Structure 1
Amino acid sequence: MADHAVPHFANDIGVSIIHIGAREFMCVGAKPPFDHPHVFLDMGDETEIICPYCSTLYRLRASLHADETDPAGCLWHTPAPA
């Protein structure tokens, strides 16, 4: 997975569950400047994990690609360096 970026997800809309298509990812809380420390989460063999900072429950949905979420719009792209 060295050639792929780790997806970052944000919960600006404040839902309790976000379905994602990746087992390893970063949670940023809300989008900057309202983000929490960007924490790496790894589900391992499980199908869900709770962010220890914002308590968002992330649930794996195998039908989603790594850059897709349900609800839509929770993928966050890090800004390109200036």
Structure 2
Amino acid sequence: MTQTLVPHLVNDIGVDRIKIGVKEFQCMGAAPPYDHPHVYLDMGHDQEIVCPYCSTLFEFDGGLKATESEPEGCVYVATAPPGPPAA
């Protein structure tokens, strides 16, 4: 069974528009702890959508991968805190 992860997007730099390579994603507004409720957005047949929480305009760009955005750095990548050393 293939599992597809839904990209989470942030606008820490405060731009009005972010180009992305997916039409379905979650907007977080900003990286934790400054995030708003994580809202699932689906553009459907449209080429853009506005987040109802932070008003960021997301524009689909088929030339971008799911892990890319313009400007760069808007695809959120969670990092786990370091765990105990391996035995």
TM-score scaled to structure 2, two decimals? 0.87
**Take 2:38 and 2:15, find their aligned partners in 1: how far apart are those partners?**
18
The answer to whether residue 6 in structure 2 is matched with residue 11 in structure 1 is no
- Report what 1:24 is aligned to: 24
Aligned to 1:38: 38
Structure with a larger share of its residues in strand: 1
Following the alignment from structure 2 to structure 1, what is the Cα–Cα distance between the partners of residues 7 and 80?
Answer: 15
CA distance in 2 between partners of 1:70 and 1:76 (Å)? 13
Q: Percent identity?
A: 54
Q: Deviating runs (4+, > 2 A) in structure 1?
A: 78-82
Q: How does 1:67-78 map to 2 (within 5 A)?
A: 67-78=67-78
Consecutive unaligned residues of structure 1, counting only runs of 5 or more, are: none
- Structure 2 residue runs of 5 or longer lacking an equivalent are none
